[in-house]
Amino acid sequence: MNDYTSFEVGQKFPLPIRTQADGGMFQLDANGAMFILQLSHTDVIAREAFRTGKMEFALYEQDGVLFLLYQIDGIFKKGWGDAPLSFGALKPELLPKAESLKDGILHLYLVDTSLQILLAQRDVKLNDKFLAVLQKHITRHEQHPLSQETFIKKVQRIWADKTSDAMRQDACAVQEVPLDIPHAPNKKDLH
């Protein structure tokens, strides 16, 4: 991620968000990969679930469109959400290159939809297969970019044909994120 961008929990989210609605957004640009989950109603449990809870991500590709599928325990009771990846709104200098994923991290952000406040953040180290699919998609886009209009039509066709749960069944890569609760020191460790 940009060294000059400050992501501080409790502060205004520092990046512009075009669509202000509940749901997930997946972005891959020159600075790396990020998933932004916007919710208008959260509580302490949801924020903690995002920060430390069990999650699962998957990638589904159809007709040149890549979807990030997500399931987050403690926030969603069942089923999968999906976020299609578009490069159409990126400035040319922000388009991803092969080195954009060199850190191998998916940066996760939970944002309050109404106030645009960052509620929680987390970094996930991606597995090799997941990274390979993302790299392949970057290369494909460099060679055969989709116009925004074509991208939107393809996404609408895919959504009309498949649910997020059906996409997950046909996913080409999966990233499991285990529960990550910091270890509390033992009483005898304190002496």
pLDDT in tens, 95-141: 898 888 999 999 999 998 888 888 999 999 999 999 999 999 999 98
Edge-to-edge strands, sheet with 65-72: 81-84, 65-72, 55-62, 173-177
Better-scored residue on pLDDT, 26 or 6: 26
Q: What angle do CA 167, 170, 171 make, to 5 degrees?
A: 85
Is 1's pLDDT higher than 60?
no
Is 77's pLDDT higher than 80?
no
For residues 44 and 67, give the distance between their C-alpha atoms in angstroms, rounded to a whole number: 29
For residues 190 and 35, give the distance between their C-alpha atoms in angstroms, rounded to a whole number: 38
Specify whether the CB–CB gap between 13 and 109 falls below 8 A.
yes
Is 190's pLDDT higher than 70?
no
Summarised one tens digit per residue, pLDDT across range 9-21 is 877 776 766 666 7
Percent of the chain exceeding pLDDT 90 equals 53
Q: What is the end-to-end Cα distance of the chain in Å, rounded?
A: 40
Task: Give me the count of residues in the chain.
Answer: 191
82 pLDDT tier (thresholds 50, 70, 90): very high
